[in-house]
Chain A
């Protein structure tokens, strides 16, 4: 029997970790990857007598995020306790926001994956702040019942962004998540590193099945805690099929079954129901008496709005137009966040060559950042310095490969460009001295001369390498030009 026409209804809850130096309610570091239980204090451990103190930076970042999502920022927000027992949750409750979240009623516009010409408006119901829990590690080896708990993550600030059930396909969800991540990274709100758990996704899914004009809604399933875009897509695809089959088998509807909680098994690639108890949780929310309600004056919201600057889309367009770089290159730079766009702007302005700046940033800067596990705001080579260095390359004062040596020197040792040039012994090479050297090399390599003459200009390559061996300051471009000229002039 053919399947009945079906519409998939999806709403996403995305947890992004805010890029604060310290936790939501204490001064502990939020840095990822420390040895277990080293980034903890009485407050985030929930020790008796300890009290939370709100992190203003988290409020600031949440407002930034909300404004970027076109949310309203109500003048008053407050903290609530959400109670449940879990070994990762030392206080037995999570400090979160229940009925007065910091951001409400927003919109995120995405490209329609089904029609690139069109856009879709996905409504944001709310975005609220909450503290993260810790992490349990269970030793599953036979006979062992060993569970260990790392509370480093406890109290890490999260912003939970809840969409309306406006999404219809896994592709739309991916477009939404991509856009959301880009926006959060661009604004410096979050790093959105999924493998570090700084972006996690829950999806609420059900189907509307059209049985000859009668619309049947299947029970809502919330798929919890997916930590990669690939998993989100796979889980949604699986769940849509599963729900249809389940409905055919059981006839369950939203009325008869309500909402259930499922997990995603990324090894078996199936969704599976979690324990019944977790479904009927009564969190007994009530206002946290340890924290005062938070007043957010209009002026504060407006001043944050002023500081938001351009959106990622606007930045992409501007970089292409202003510097003549390709869409792909603009994309790479913008996707690194606003600080990187600022860095690029400065480099490109100082060197006067946007393409050169873009290629250096994508290759040298990004690679170095990755190697050093660093952010651009703490990068040792200032944008103006890199810009000046590249301007010397553009003017032909410095060969590209020597500039790379200078860059490496600046990264490792610091100092000015001139100090680096001096330390590396880089000097301008006299043209006639270079001609003598190339002539000597051509005489010693008649095969190269022959190959070039017969049309293979690439044969000069090894010659350039040899020239650099004799004189590290030899500019490959100059060596090539001299060599070609001499070969042409040769009888």
Chain B
């Protein structure tokens, strides 16, 4: 059993264990988990041990150490690392090693974290089950016949399987929160612009955000402290002071906090009774902690999924143009002219879901259709943002479900894209509006599977989410449940 990040920091500070010993434990855990769960696309024990050794030496020499010193961290394989491949789980980028680190990776290294490997995902982060990647599916550590969710399924499974205490995922339409709910861990999608996207391979640039995954809100706060903050290499990065998120989780006094409940969402058709029960129970917990419960509505909620599935594929179709076989990555060997090289390289390199979204996006942006689809979606996005502004003028946080159901079986929806897209029913709103949102473990089904709840807050109010999440976790023990395995 790997201890919490805070416990690992304490053990090293008090000389109970070294960073090398912790890294050895993480590597052993990855080696035993990998054949069962396939949470990683790449891990490098030697590299991790070398990093850990350097940290131990720094500590021995009395040099100052970063806030994540010796803590093993896994990084989703859509984030660039100069010393490990970055594949986005695509054949297109098999073996691609970027010549640079993403900003978040630079910050992890500066914080003396030990990066142990890259986690599996849906290809180019497109999917809700970590089944669309080129390097095999990831299995849910709670039940290996189930999906861990997606696209950050590898990142959440890596935590759930207790190979690392912390991991970085990315969330474009719910890709941190939905797998966090399926894997019984805590995952935060920060405000758009709060964490630099430099070095994050783009899926849908106006929606993508990197965020922390851990067992608890407090550990998410620790990781967010390291990765958040302005950076001039990302023009959409927000130049605003980063508060100490860990300190924000110290209080659990929720008196006077207004919690808005999306009552209609909670009871909508297709929402599993276990999910409804978890949300109802959470409302009770928040009320007991002193929060004021207020019913609110986000009137354009029914347009979230259609709006998302126009904007995200449109941006993706453009962002993925660069994978054409000309400069790096997969190039078809079966082409004798430029056009054939483009067509065949892309046909061979991309999987079905990526192709589907490129085609949807290309169509939505094409001459004569852009006004009907893309431009229309941009207008609706404005209405969705206005809904959030109106809601947050009444309440401090919004409470509701993360997903309509608990984790489903591997293969159950992979041939039914519409069913798969509906997994994002409750999560895409936060991405369209750019606001932060957190997924918290909130109970187990009768069958022993995790169920999550979601809290959302106004832009840049991650502290409020982490504080409310930590307060909830101080009153419940769902985040301490571990899969048997």
Q: What is the interface of chain A, defined by CB distance below 8 A to chain B?
A: 42, 45-54, 81, 83, 85, 87, 90-93, 149, 282, 284-286, 289-292
Contacts and interface: CB of A to CB of B under 8 A. Distances in A.
B198 A51 contact: yes
Shortest 9 CB-CB contacts between residues of A and residues of B: A92-B321, A289-B205, A289-B206, A284-B365, A48-B201, A49-B199, A49-B80, A282-B367, A87-B326
A90 B327 CA distance: 7
B120 to A, nearest CB: 17
Contact of B322 (A51, A91, A290): A91
Name, among B197, B314, B324, the residue most crowded by chain A CB atoms within 10 Å (CB to CB): B324
B198 A92 contact: no
A90 B329 CA distance: 12
A47 B99 CA distance: 9
A284 B236 contact: no
Interface stretch (B144-152, B227-235, B297-305, B422-430): B227-235
Contacts of A54: 235
B98 A81 contact: no
Nearest to B124: A48
A291 B232 CA distance: 12
Contact of A284 (B235, B322, B366): B366
A154 to B, nearest CB: 11
B322 A92 contact: yes
Interface in B326-375: 326-328, 338, 342, 362, 365-367, 370, 374
A48 B93 contact: yes
Contacts of B362: 284
B465 interface: no
Interface of B: 79-80, 86, 88, 93, 96, 98-100, 102, 197-202, 204-206, 232-236, 314-315, 317-318, 320-322, 324, 326-328, 338, 342, 362, 365-367, 370, 374
Contacts of A50: 100, 198-199
Contacts of A87: 326, 338
9 contacts: A49-B86, A49-B98, A49-B100, A49-B202, A50-B198, A54-B235, A284-B365, A286-B314, A286-B370
Contacts of B365: 83, 284-286
Label chain A's interface by main secondary structure. loop
Contacts of B200: 49
A291 B202 CA distance: 13
Label chain B's interface by main secondary structure. loop
Contact of A291 (B235, B317, B320): B235
A82 to B, nearest CB: 10
B128 to A, nearest CB: 22
Contacts of A85: 321, 324, 342
A275 to B, nearest CB: 10
A282 B366 contact: yes
Nearest to B326: A87
A292 B233 contact: no
A284 B366 CA distance: 5
Contacts of A81: 318
A91 B370 CA distance: 21
Nearest to B99: A42
A51 B314 contact: no
Nearest to B200: A49
B341 to A, nearest CB: 9
B235 A290 contact: yes
Contacts of B99: 42, 47
A290 B236 CA distance: 7
Contacts of B338: 87
A54 B236 CA distance: 11
Given A48-B98, A85-B321, 6 more contacts: A45-B327, A47-B99, A48-B86, A50-B100, A90-B327, A289-B315
A53 B235 contact: yes
A292 B236 contact: yes
A284 B367 contact: yes
Contacts of B86: 48-49
Nearest to A151: B327
A49 B367 contact: no
Contact of A46 (B80, B199, B232, B322): B322
B349 to A, nearest CB: 13
A54 B235 CA distance: 8
A285 B321 CA distance: 14
A149 B235 CA distance: 29
Nearest to A91: B322
A42 B100 CA distance: 8
Nearest to A25: B235
B235 A52 contact: yes
B98 A53 contact: no
Given A286-B314, A290-B205, A92 B236 contact: no
Contacts of A42: 98-100
A292 B205 CA distance: 12
A63 B86 CA distance: 41
Nearest to B363: A284
Contacts of B327: 45-46, 90, 149
A53 B197 CA distance: 12
A93 B365 CA distance: 13
A229 B107 CA distance: 53
A54 B318 CA distance: 19
B98 A51 contact: no
Contacts of B197: 51
A285 B322 CA distance: 16
Nearest to A286: B365
Contacts of A49: 79-80, 86, 98, 100, 102, 198-202
Contacts of B98: 42, 47-49
Contacts of B315: 286, 289
Contacts of B322: 46, 48, 90-92
Given A87-B338, A286-B370, A51 B321 contact: no
A92 B346 CA distance: 13
Name, among A46, A49, A53, A93, the residue most crowded by chain B CB atoms within 10 Å (CB to CB): A49
Given A42-B100, A81-B318, A290-B205, A51 B234 contact: yes
